[in-house]
Structure 1
Amino acid sequence: MIGMAMRGEADIAIGPITRTAARLNVVDFLTPFQEEGIGFVMKKIDSPLLEQMFHVFRPISLVCWVAVVVSTVLTGIILTILAKLSPSAEHKEASLSRNLWIALSSILGQEDCPRPTFHQGYIILGFWWIFITLIMALYASSLAAFLTVPLPNAPLRNLEELASQTHYKPLVTQGTNLFHLFKSAKGGLHKRIWEMMSDMPKITVMDEAFSLVETGKYAFISDSSELRFELRNKCDELEIAQDSFLLTQLSFVVQKNFPFKDAFDHQ
């Protein structure tokens, strides 16, 4: 469209065309109608089924879970030893399996489980109840926050993370402003992205790009609004990176020194 307007084959090129210094040398832009950031879209990474099954254990760390298991066993062992040493304890209270069940049932909130009949056992069980109450309060608060705040499925958040990984290959449409931006980069982040595009498939339309993105091997870089529009029916499979970059202005294009440019601008 830029070429058609430049050659006078069209009076005006209508579309989300990015204003750049190079284009201003050959065509004129009308008043910008929108400021746009650049983003990229990639395929979501689905959690394995086994990992989804154990989501309930994620609110607290593995170390905490190990500490709870070890504490449960130690509590049962201590109760068994005290029952054997206490003259007031009944014979059945010296059973390790019985005392392990007492400790475990306290965690599960079982009200009809057996209780020690000797004073030392009541003291140990009292401290155990306090410990379990604190652990359950910590777990409940962490679980509420874990379920309330959705975890993003996007594996990458910004262009820096895209340039620092090897799973996704960046992808842009041939001949666009972004294509020339990365191609002409002399160094830095944009140069690293261009080097990752060395074997990039040649695409000219967005449908081709999204077909490649759905394979899970590519991340397509384009205007954020266009990406959001294309994702309206694919939000369960694809995800846009959290951060945008390179804020630009979008405008329509007319031929250089177009006589009706001011009239269009005022409209």
Structure 2
Amino acid sequence: MTQLSPVIRVAAEEWVPYTTLLHHNGTLDVKGPMKYFLDEFSRVLGASYEILRPSDGMWGIMLPNGSYNGMVGMLLREEADFALGPFFIGESREKVADFTATFYYDSYYIVSQRPVASSDPTGIIKTFQPQVWLLVAVCMAVVGVVMMGMIWLTERLQGSGGTSRVSWAAMWSVQGLFQEPTSWLPGNASGRLMVTVWVLSALVIASVYRGNITAMLTLPKIEVPIDSINDLTNQNRLPWKLEHGGLENFLLKSKDKAMQKMGAEFSGFIPSCWSARHEIQTGEFATACDKTSTMTMMAWDFRWALLSHPYHK
């Protein structure tokens, strides 16, 4: 471009990866996909451009007094000729600004701090559900009582005293469950049948328990506390914030109750997901981010930290 070419004033704010602002000798430049659009746009018009950044770092929403802040406000005050997107098209913005035809759609995710595996001393009993443990205890008690009754009745019929054998029968049901060796076995056929059934049952229980313990140690289960909008709005541990730009209005107009609650009870605004990535990573709050920004944040942190990404989407 020559110095005599017209200069287009372009309002821009950083939204990685679409738009990244760079400082060169006191002037602003832009890189990213929107850079290619801006270069082609200026080439077709035969003009150069100047990047202007809003002082508040916002895209622009209507304020209580009816004015607009951010890039939309710069357009209304004629401080810029047009604003560089992407923009979330909302009703209030459409009343005061014209938008180009939509050429890209993106989906949104709930983004929060990634949960980590933590030690759980009670994990040794969480291999089975409480109902399973209760059933095992009931079976052990029933086997012990039945075995004691059989031994007591047999010895009464034979006219011999055997209190010690009765106690052995009570202990045997516990030893059988824990696969402990024992030198005592009942002398009658019915007692030996009971022993066989209980030993085989205990073998199955012990094998399943060992398998579950091994699986838990090999691949610890990580509970994901927030995996949907319902999870986010039904908890009160982690607040959530939204990007400036009209997303809250879109949520409030939704027919879904959880989305309405998300748009009504958020704790504040953030300029962009990229600018708030460190607060999200440390668990200060959750937010809603577009898919491209979410993947960019995870890729950036993976590149520099050489660890798995600290976000959950």
1:76 counterpart letter in structure 2: G
- 8 Å CA contact 1:59–1:142 kept in 2: the answer is yes
For structure 2, list consecutive stretches of 5 or more residues without a partner in the other structure. Answer: 1-11, 13-58, 60-70, 302-306
Q: Which amino acid aligns with 1:223?
A: D
Give CA-to-partner distance per residue, 1:13-67, whole Å, 9 cap, x none.
Answer: 3x7x2564767862325743xx421011223556774xx2233433432122122
The match for 1:86 among 154, 160, 164 is: 154
Q: 1:100: Cα distance to partner?
A: 3.7
Q: Does 1:55 align with 2:123?
A: yes
Cα distance change of structure 1 residues 126 and 93 upon mapping to structure 2, 3 Å threshold: farther
Aligned identity (percent) is: 11
Counterpart of 2:191 in structure 1 is 121
Question: Corresponding residue for 1:99?
Answer: 169
Matched-pair contact (CA < 8 Å) for 2:144–2:169:
yes
Q: Which amino acid aligns with 2:98?
A: V
User: What is aligned with 2:261?
Assistant: 192
Letter in 1 for 2:271: T
Determine whether 1:153 maps to 2:223: yes
Q: Distance in 1 between matches of 2:193 and 2:161?
A: 17
Aligned to 2:136, which of 65, 68, 71? 68
Write the deviation string for residues 146-166 of structure 1: whole angstroms up to 9, x where unpaired.
789875532122223333333
Letter in 1 for 2:250: L
Aligned twin of 2:288: 221
**Larger radius of gyration, structure 1 or 2?**
2
Tell me whether 1:239 sits opposite 2:307 in the alignment.
no
| Normalised TM-score (structure 2) | 0.55
Q: Any stretches of 5+ residues in structure 1 without a counterpart?
A: 241-267
Residues 208/95 of structure 1: CA separation in 2 closer, same or farther (3 Å cut): farther
Q: Is the 8 Å Cα contact of residues 210 and 220 (structure 1) preserved in structure 2?
A: no
Note closer, same or farther for the CA distance 1:45–1:202 as it changes in structure 2 (3 Å cut).
same
Tell whether the 8 Å contact from 2:108 to 2:290 is kept in structure 1 after alignment: yes
More helix by share: 1
Compute the TM-score of the two structures, normalised by the length of structure 1.
0.63
- 1:77 to 2:145 alignment: yes
Count of aligned positions:
228
Instruction: Sort the Cα spacing of 1:188 and 1:150 in 2 relative to 1 into closer, same or farther, 3 A.
Output: same
* Amino acid in the other structure paired with 2:145: I
